[in-house]
Structure 1
């Protein structure tokens, strides 16, 4: 615990607030700015969908590892130094990402960028909140939430514009001048609380850090590469699955028994926090996963330019600025957060069902827009309700650890969601292709007429008889592949929706002993 007041006044509070908001926006911007560049990265680096998804998930893994350690690291190095150092790590890795010349080098730099970025997100909320007096903490929370909403919303739009008008490295280079400015202002204006005695090197939970990194990294690799390696028929996948399971087991045991754990697992003895943490994972899975699908589908299947895909995600995400106050009012009116969250999960299921039905080779911007806006009603109700449930029975000194857990599990759920979705699309695509091909017989009059029509079209363009037939079969194969992929995306939306529908009734079983409050969220 620290003893001095961190409340700021006048221009100092304005500058500190702007710096913290800028850092949270930069961190969250980079979680989504890459989504619209995936199609471009595949072409430029010759990577598969599974490989290029590592550019997204590696960043998430870095976030997941560092977020639960942020409170401890702030005490060790001082909040100002730790925050400024994290900004510089984030900025330097942004430069290195832009310089990468292959997909795996880029993924490695994204991992370290994510470690710097995770610290920015976790620390900026604390800095903003503590800079305001207690009676204005609600205002501070609202300011922070604006950054949380604006960052992910602007990412796809800015990324799309850069991809269409420049080249992919510039989606990382834009962080450099802003990062340098934020670091300088942090060193000038942000103060560090007076913490108690620091831990010695011997007290540091090095084993906990190592076990967490190994367990999360191994599990993520299994999820990403399992499909390509035919899962447990691969010795590597089998070994890493065992490593992930054993690593997580020993990590939990270590943190539960060690005197100075890097992650305070004991706080999960609180039932409502444990439930809120679990549903944070589910929220992250659905939210990040469904956001990941949209730019990928519109670019690869509909042929949209990256700017249009980014504009779609941006405009629908910004609708959260209107929905957020409505959800907050519902929770403050006395309605139990369990009921609000249940309604949100049902709404999200309905949105996933609608999304699966609107996907066609010709789906337009307007159709996507209204369906995606509807999605944010459900997601906002879930997000704020999870916060209210998780923090409703925590003591003051437990809130920081509770926030770290919900933030970590939400990010981890997002990483898993993206990994599983890319694998699921590949598997379902193979299934649908096999099924479609099994119904294509040359003796079928419909198939025969279609082939002859295509053949005639190629002949009219000057192709020889043999080349016209060859191109006709190629075009038919392309049509089959596109239809199989379309059906795969429909399956993804349906499956995500069913997951939320199945989980929704369990929300009503959560009991909290006292009235829930709308707590801060990462």
Structure 2
């Protein structure tokens, strides 16, 4: 396929990266607005969390099927239809007047969003000659990192200044422009013209097992902590469904059908298997940091959502050129394994640095740590994805890349589940330890309570209420301290995941993609 003009090439870049960022932003943008949505729609926090869960379930089901869906409908048609679905669903989310209408449109948004992430990189690869495809990977990598990072920032700004519905309405003009640009500048590949859909086998049982298995697993991971895990009947039932359908899916795709919807035989490739495990760790680290940093900054240090978002800007400004540097390093033949190792060290360092902070942490402390994180993500994402599929045969690349994308999303789901559970458990442990150290006759404790009582009395509160208020304030101080230490423990745990998985890097075969393989990646499921 002929290469596009420089102008058309950069239009495709802008369209593809914007679509990928838009999809990834929507995985996390609503997290900061759940309280406002619940209050406006008259729903509980437990129920409104379905706004997050429904999107994640749809996303993780569609991503592994991307290769099949592109082959069946044609990549350009599937991509444009997905943007249209995502845009219409975004409008429906903003327009929703009750919770379950919002949840329904969020599910549709997740269905459309799965293709935006999984197809964008292939479109960018096609727009560049082989010698410049490392640059295309770097540009796409920016979207992977910036999306989850910008989501809470943008959501916080909207919540602080506008109605929550604008978290969804902002997608509408972007989606309309993306559709028009895609219709004009994205070219169809030769095999997309005159597709004979009757000759393409639809693995209906595989799709059913995939949807039930991965969808149930995602639900359990998303809702487990909030619903007390196996004390909840829905968690028990869906865990049983996942325990049956995921092995059934694996057996059916490997043994039961000759034309699987996801060709799992590619997992026999060592690079893809090892790379998928490492991608889970990276997804875990990325989503954990995206969840924990805003909580720490706002609940412990006392920053607003807007202030928390502004502290991400310096890290983002450093990260963007680092992606370009990563692309140049890959193009010049620097070992991807070496680059990933440097990124692993940087991201692990970020986790351990954050585990040393306390409620006196300054803006500069956060900026420093977030810059380290940005450098780590720039060094990890692109080389790791490329290296994971570098030893696959061209025909295996669509499935290989779809699996890598799915594993990153599942890693993020595991990260959120582990983080929520671990924070809850460690908070209870630390609170118990702190309370156990409070002795009724301790002079320091008595002095502290007297000072708080006197301070409240000075504000006109009667003596009895002042004493009661002092004890309540002491309880709040203990709770905040316990929560802070639990956050530090969780950052430390994330760092340990990087340390423990680091030796797996040496199992990756270091191979630079040749032009033919790079072109095949362009035609793959991304």
- Normalised by the length of structure 1, the TM-score is 0.89
Deviates further, 488-497 or 157-166: 157-166
Give 1:24's aligned residue.
20
Cα distance in structure 1, aligned partners of 2:156 and 2:236: 38
Structure 2: 5+ residue runs without aligned partners? none
Question: Which residues of 2 match residues 260-279 of structure 1 at below 5 A?
Answer: 260-279=259-278
Question: Which residues of 2 match residues 238-253 of structure 1 at below 5 A?
Answer: 238-253=236-251
Deviations 1:213-233 (A, max 9, x none): 222222233234433444345
Pair 1:442-2:440 in alignment: yes
* Change in 2 beyond 3 A, CA 1:103/1:219: farther
Deviates further, 289-298 or 123-132: 123-132
Preserved contact between residue 348 and residue 375 of structure 1 (Cα < 8 Å): yes
Give 2:399's aligned residue.
401
Shift of 1:38: 5.1
Pair 1:310-2:309 in alignment: yes
Question: Which residues of 2 match residues 87-102 of structure 1 at below 5 A?
Answer: 87-100=83-96
Give 2:124's aligned residue.
128
Deviates further, 382-391 or 184-193: 184-193
Please give the secondary structure, in 2, of the residue aligned with 1:357: coil
Deviations 1:375-396 (A, max 9, x none): 2222332223322421221222
* Change in 2 beyond 3 A, CA 1:166/1:51: same
Cα distance in structure 1, aligned partners of 2:200 and 2:383: 40
Question: Which residues of 2 match residues 224-373 of structure 1 at below 5 A?
Answer: 224-257=222-255, 258-331=257-330, 335-358=334-357, 360-373=358-371
Give 1:166's aligned residue.
162
* Change in 2 beyond 3 A, CA 1:183/1:331: closer
Preserved contact between residue 91 and residue 169 of structure 2 (Cα < 8 Å): yes
Deviations 1:126-145 (A, max 9, x none): 22222344454445444434
Of 380, 391, 415, the residue aligned with 1:417 is 415
Pair 1:113-2:109 in alignment: yes
Please give the secondary structure, in 1, of the residue aligned with 2:311: helix
Give 1:206's aligned residue.
204
Cα distance in structure 1, aligned partners of 2:371 and 2:390: 29
Deviations 1:89-137 (A, max 9, x none): 1112212322456666645533331221120122222222223444544
Pair 1:176-2:172 in alignment: yes
* Change in 2 beyond 3 A, CA 1:372/1:391: same
Preserved contact between residue 156 and residue 310 of structure 1 (Cα < 8 Å): yes
Matched pairs, number? 516
Structure 1: 5+ residue runs without aligned partners? none
Shift of 1:189: 4.1
Question: Which residues of 2 match residues 209-220 of structure 1 at below 5 A?
Answer: 209-220=207-218
Please give the secondary structure, in 2, of the residue aligned with 1:508: helix
Shift of 1:250: 0.8
Preserved contact between residue 33 and residue 171 of structure 1 (Cα < 8 Å): yes
Cα distance in structure 1, aligned partners of 2:60 and 2:513: 27
